[in-house]
C-alpha cells in the first residue's frame, strides 16, 4: 500500500506536467496564428506546402517596398515583367463599350498562347479607383504615387495632363530597370492576339525592341518612326542611362510628349553614343491602326495608335477582337492571310472633333 506522502507527490507532479503541456500548446497555437497572419511560414512543412517548387531558403522573401513586392510577384524566372499603366478612365466603360482594361484582358483570353502571360502582368494604377478595380480582378497591382496630381480622368492625346502622365510613366519605368527587372511595356489599348515572346529576341545582345507606326523594311534602321506603346527592354547600364537621359529632357521639351523626345534623342545619336542595340519591330507582326498588319495568320499585337479618344479606341478595338474571333472560328481550310480588318472609322473620326 502506497504511503500517503507518495500519493501527494505523484498528484502534484501530475498537475505540473499538465500545466507544462497546456502552456506549450498555447505557445504553438499562438505561433501558428501569428505566422499565418504575417504570411511568413514557420514550420518547414508549411514552407514546402506554400510553394513546393522552390527550395526552403528561397521561400521567405523580404521586400524593401510595395513595388519590389509587386515586381517579384509578377516576374518570370529571368526577372521579366509585362507592365501596363491604367487610370480611372481605363477601368470604367461607357454606355456602349466595356472598360479598356477589360478589353485588354479579353485579348489575353482569346489570343493564342497568351492566357498564362497574365500571371506575369503588372497593372500600374495612377489612382485609387483603378487600383481597387485591379485588386478586384485578382491581378498583380501596384499603385503609383503621383504627388497629389489627379490622373484619374481621361487624358486626351497631347493635352497637358496627358503629357504629364506620360512623363510620370517614364520615370517609373526607369525605376523598374534600376531594380534589375527587364520588362515589356504595353499600352492598355494593345490587343495581344499571339504570344509576343515568340517573336522577340531573348538574347542579351539586344537592349531594346520597340514598335513602329510604319515599318520601313529594316529592323535595324533608326529611320523607323518608333512608337513607345509597346517595347521590350533589358535592364543594364546602357538602358538605365537611356531612361535617365530621356526623363532628363522633360523640362526642356514643353509641349512634347515623351515619345517625341525619345525620337529626337535617337536622331541626335544617343542610341549610338550609349552603344545600344535596338531592333525596330515590323508592323506585319506588331501592328496598329497607323499601319494594319496584312497577314492575320502571323499578326501578334494590334495597337489603337493614330487615335485620339478612349471611346474611339474602344469601339475600333472591339471590332478588331470580333474580326480575330471570326478568323479563329473559320475552318483552317478557309482561312486566308488576306482576311481583312474592319475599318477603324471611329478613330479616323476622332480627329475631327
DSSP state of 277: -
Q: What average pLDDT score do residues 158-185 get?
A: 85
Q: For residues 120 and 197, is the Cβ–Cβ distance under 8 A?
A: no
DSSP state of 281: P
Place of cell 485609387: 128
Question: Taking Cα atoms as reference points, which of 97, 100, 172, 88 lies closest to residue 133?
Answer: 88
What is the distance between the alpha carbons of residues 67 and 50, in angstroms, rounded to a whole number?
22
Please compute, for residue 259, the number of CA atoms within 13 A of its CA located in the half-sphere on the CB side: 17
What is the pLDDT, as a whole number, of residue 18? 54
- pLDDT tens digits, residue range 233-256? 999 999 999 999 999 998 887 778
**Is residue 72 scored above 80 in pLDDT?**
yes
- pLDDT tens digits, residue range 13-22? 555 555 455 5
What is the pLDDT, as a whole number, of residue 218? 97
Q: What average pLDDT score do residues 252-263 get?
A: 85
Q: What length does the chain have?
A: 353
**Is residue 1 scored above 60 in pLDDT?**
no
Share of the chain above pLDDT 90, in %: 61
Residues ≥6 apart with Cβ < 8 Å to 102? 91, 93
What is the distance between the alpha carbons of residues 59 and 252, in angstroms, rounded to a whole number?
46
* Per-residue cell: 287: 501592328
Alpha helices in the chain (DSSP H): 4-38, 44-50, 66-74, 88-91, 100-110, 128-136, 160-178, 237-248, 258-267, 270-274, 310-329, 345-350
- pLDDT tens digits, residue range 111-140? 999 999 999 999 999 889 999 999 999 999
Q: Is 37 or 218 the better-scoring residue by pLDDT?
A: 218
Amino acid at each position: 500500500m502506497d504511503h500517503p506522502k507518495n500519493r501527494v507527490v505523484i498528484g502534484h507532479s501530475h498537475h505540473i506536467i499538465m500545466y507544462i503541456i497546456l502552456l506549450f500548446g498555447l505557445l504553438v497555437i499562438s505561433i501558428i496564428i501569428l505566422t499565418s497572419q504575417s504570411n511568413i511560414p514557420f514550420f518547414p512543412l508549411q514552407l514546402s506546402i506554400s510553394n513546393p517548387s522552390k527550395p526552403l531558403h528561397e521561400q521567405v522573401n523580404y521586400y524593401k517596398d510595395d513595388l519590389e513586392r509587386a515586381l517579384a510577384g509578377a516576374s518570370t524566372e529571368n526577372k521579366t515583367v509585362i507592365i501596363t499603366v491604367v487610370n480611372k478612365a481605363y477601368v470604367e466603360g461607357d454606355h456602349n463599350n466595356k472598360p479598356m482594361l477589360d478589353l485588354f484582358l479579353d485579348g489575353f483570353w482569346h489570343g493564342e498562347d497568351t492566357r498564362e502571360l497574365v500571371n506575369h502582368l503588372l497593372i500600374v494604377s495612377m489612382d485609387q479607383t483603378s487600383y481597387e478595380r485591379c485588386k478586384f480582378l485578382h491581378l498583380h497591382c501596384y499603385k503609383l504615387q503621383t504627388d497629389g496630381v489627379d490622373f484619374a480622368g481621361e487624358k486626351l492625346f497631347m493635352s497637358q495632363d496627358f503629357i504629364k502622365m506620360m512623363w510620370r510613366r517614364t520615370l517609373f519605368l526607369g525605376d523598374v530597370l534600376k531594380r534589375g527587372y527587364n520588362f515589356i511595356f504595353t499600352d492598355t489599348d494593345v490587343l495581344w492576339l499571339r504570344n509576343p515572346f515568340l517573336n522577340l529576341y531573348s538574347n542579351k545582345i539586344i537592349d531594346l525592341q520597340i514598335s513602329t507606326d510604319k515599318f520601313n523594311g529594316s529592323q535595324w534602321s533608326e529611320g523607323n518612326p518608333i512608337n513607345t506603346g509597346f517595347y521590350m527592354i533589358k535592364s543594364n547600364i546602357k538602358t538605365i542611362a537611356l531612361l535617365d537621359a530621356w526623363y532628363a529632357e522633360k523640362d526642356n521639351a514643353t509641349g512634347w510628349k515623351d515619345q517625341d523626345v525619345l525620337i529626337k534623342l535617337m536622331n541626335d545619336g544617343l542610341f549610338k553614343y550609349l552603344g545600344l542595340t535596338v531592333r525596330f519591330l515590323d508592323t506585319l507582326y506588331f501592328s496598329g491602326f497607323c499601319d494594319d498588319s496584312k497577314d492575320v495568320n502571323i499578326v501578334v499585337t494590334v495597337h489603337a495608335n493614330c487615335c485620339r479618344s478612349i471611346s474611339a479606341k474602344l469601339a475600333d478595338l472591339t471590332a478588331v477582337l470580333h474580326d480575330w474571333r471570326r478568323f479563329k472560328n473559320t475552318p483552317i481550310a478557309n482561312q486566308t492571310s488576306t482576311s481583312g480588318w474592319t475599318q477603324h472609322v471611329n478613330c479616323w473620326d476622332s480627329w475631327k472633333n
